[in-house]
Amino acid sequence: MSDGTAVRSFPVIIEPLLAELSGEGKNGIAVPSPFDAALCNGISAHTRMPELPELSEVETVRHFTRLSRLNFGIETGMYPLGSCTMKYNPKVSEEIARTIAAVHPGDETGRASVLEWLVSLKGILEEICGMDECCLWPAAGAHGELTGMLVIKQAIMKKKERRTKVLIPDTAHGTNPASCSIAGFVTVNIPSGPDGFLRAADLKDHLDKDVAALMITNPNTLGIFEQEILEIARVLHENGSYLYMDGANLNAVMGIVRPGDIGVDCMHINLHKTFGSPHGGGGPGSGPVLVKKDLAPFLPVPRIERNGSGHLVLQDDFPDSIGMIHSTYGNVAVLLKAYVFCLSLGPQGLKEASIRACLNANYLKSRLSTLFDLPYTTPTMHEFVLSDKKQKSSGVTTIDMAKALMEYGFHPPTVYFPLVVQGSIMIEPTESEPMSELKRFVGAMEDIAKKAAAAPDDLRTSPRGMPVKRVDEVWAARNLILTWKDLNPSE
């Protein structure tokens, strides 16, 4: 193991459940009681105390600290999850986001400066994407997709048209079809071309007056830029259909291509990917939607508007709007983190981030494509897809190699997606990785390739040095133990 020396950073901890640590009468955290509890006597309160475990403060802290040590974060090491853009999350963004913690959304004084920042962020995102208007409120990428498709639906209805179909290439993101369904569309899966990008000529075969939009991911999930995008936009527009772009892979093209300049009518972006806000183990994210002028009237409310006296206010009287999509106005703290990220980098830094992301990915592809099958030789950008074709003959599959990577101190890549490649391994290093980490990753992959040939059984039983061994996901689905009560039904 030359460069790929294992980093055994995982402790062996079997941490009990909170319920198992609970003991009656342990000190919880005290809450001041200035008001007379007897005043509540009129309420028909529950006779029993809330069903929660009782722990001392030190046990709570230790429990969660120990759990955290069973996790892998971007600060632990490289996290090459394809299409997830796991880049460094700047500390300054976290620090600044905390400044709004105590602002209530109904506090017009406190939120005044927050709205100013949001307007500036909106402007930056519109500039990066080359789009005319932006709604910041969607709370995640899929929420953005839904919002964008509702906007398109509304525009179609306004034109008194009846277009029900949305075309989705097989290299698009997995959430797209479900978002379209909720927005009231029927989706049609269309195959991408032999080189991993959609041909305008093939698209034409699927176009008719019932097509509302094409929902394309660009660069797509193979990391390939949609080379015929200009022609695709042209034939779509000629057909009266919209071009929706899933901007989850925007990290490849900041300052290089602006979606608005290549005919995109509507798109969403993922601030928790491209703009460096942390993913939090599954959110909170943020998925702003950007549109061209003609779709702007349909964007959600509220909208931030400047009133007569120059103050920013939230307004919701826009009759063409699809309505509200969130309880307040989005994941404001996440928006602020993205804003700080953009200001930190500046125009050149944003472009440089995309260039380095592409450089790092192409470096890894060059180094790894001799050892692993590279199903598409088309040039790729910030990510690329390998497969397990070369290893399969010795009985080693993608999942085995993914699990083995953990033992080298890496989070596995995205696996078995996109579906166009069997046993796909989708690698996205991002711009955050230094040369040393890239080399270490190559070393680990080389080692795994060697083991796949020489000692396949080792890989098939990996990981062995993690807090748990290979986890039985089938057992979980069969037994459905979803709470403490399911574990001890008698209690």
Partner 1 sequence: MSFLPTSPEDLKDLLSVIGIEDVEQLFSAIPKEARHKGPLKVEGPLDELTLRRRFQVIPLRVVFLGGGVYHHFIPAVVDSTASRQEFLTAYTPYQPEISQGTLQAMFEFQSMMAALTGMDASNASMYDGATALAEAAIMATRIKDIKRIVISRSTNPVYRFVLKTYFRNNHEVELVEVPFDPTTGKVNAGALEKLVDGSVAFFLQQPNYFGVIEDMGRVSRIAAKAGFWGVVVGEAASLGLLQPPGSFGCDVVVGEAQSFGNPANAGGPLLGFFCTKKEHIRRIPGRIVGLTRDSAGNRAFCLTLSTREQHIRREKATSNICTNEGLCALRATIYLSALGPRGLRDVAVQCAAGTRTLMSALEKKGIKPVFTGEVFNEFVIPMDTDTLKNLQGSGIACGIPIGPNYPEMKDAVLLTMTEMNTNEDIRCLTELL
Q: Which of residues 370-409 bind partner 1 (CB under 8 A)?
A: 378-379, 381, 402-403, 406
Element housing 331 (H / E): none
CA distances from 82 to 20, 267, 357 (A): 38, 20, 12
Q: Which of residues 331-350 bind partner 1 (CB under 8 A)?
A: 331-334, 336, 340, 342-350
Element housing 84 (H / E): none
Could you say whether residue 319 binds partner 1 (CB under 8 A)?
A: no
Question: Residues 204, 206, 234, 367: which binds partner 1 (CB under 8 A)?
Answer: 367
Q: Which stretch binds partner 1 (CB under 8 A): 255-263, 368-376, 389-397, 451-459?
A: 255-263
User: What is the C-alpha to C-alpha distance for residues 350 and 327, in angstroms, rounded to an integer?
Assistant: 31
Question: Residues 142, 190, 299, 420: which binds partner 1 (CB under 8 A)?
Answer: 142
Could you say whether residue 64 binds partner 1 (CB under 8 A)?
A: yes
Could you say whether residue 318 binds partner 1 (CB under 8 A)?
A: no
Q: Which stretch binds partner 1 (CB under 8 A): 45-53, 198-206, 384-392, 443-451?
A: 45-53
What is the nearest approach in angstroms of partner 1 to the Cβ of residue 132? Answer: 14
Could you say whether residue 45 binds partner 1 (CB under 8 A)?
A: yes
Question: What b/e string do you get for 35-46 counting C-beta neighbours within 10 Å, with b at 16 or more?
Answer: eeeeeeeeeeee
Could you say whether residue 17 binds partner 1 (CB under 8 A)?
A: yes
What is the nearest approach in angstroms of partner 1 to the Cβ of residue 177? Answer: 4
User: What is the C-alpha to C-alpha distance for residues 237 and 292, in angstroms, rounded to an integer?
Assistant: 13
Question: Residues 434, 453, 455, 457: which binds partner 1 (CB under 8 A)?
Answer: 434
What is the nearest approach in angstroms of partner 1 to the Cβ of residue 346? Answer: 3
Reported as half-sphere exposure (CB side, CA atoms, 13 A), residue 442 has a value of 18
Could you say whether residue 471 binds partner 1 (CB under 8 A)?
A: yes
Find, among 442, 434, 435, 446, the residue nearest to 87 by Cα.
434
Size of the site for partner 1 (CB under 8 A): 197
Whether residue 323 contacts residue 301, with contact meaning beta carbons closer than 8 Å, is answered with yes
Question: What b/e string do you get for 243-256 counting C-beta neighbours within 10 Å, with b at 16 or more?
Answer: bbbbbbbbbbbbbe
Question: Residues 11, 101, 308, 370: which binds partner 1 (CB under 8 A)?
Answer: 101
Could you say whether residue 466 binds partner 1 (CB under 8 A)?
A: yes
Nearer to partner 1, 309 or 393 (CB): 309
Could you say whether residue 315 binds partner 1 (CB under 8 A)?
A: no
Strand ranges (E), 299-347: 303-306, 312-315
Could you say whether residue 368 binds partner 1 (CB under 8 A)?
A: no
SS3 state at 474: helix
Could you say whether residue 76 binds partner 1 (CB under 8 A)?
A: yes
Could you say whether residue 454 binds partner 1 (CB under 8 A)?
A: no
Q: Which of residues 168-207 bind partner 1 (CB under 8 A)?
A: 174-175, 177-184, 186-187
AA letter at 8 = R
Whether residue 85 contacts residue 278, with contact meaning beta carbons closer than 8 Å, is answered with no
Question: What b/e string do you get for 393-430 counting C-beta neighbours within 10 Å, with b at 16 or more?
Answer: eeebbbbbbbbbbbbbbbbbbbbbbbebbebbbbbbbb
Nearer to partner 1, 289 or 393 (CB): 289
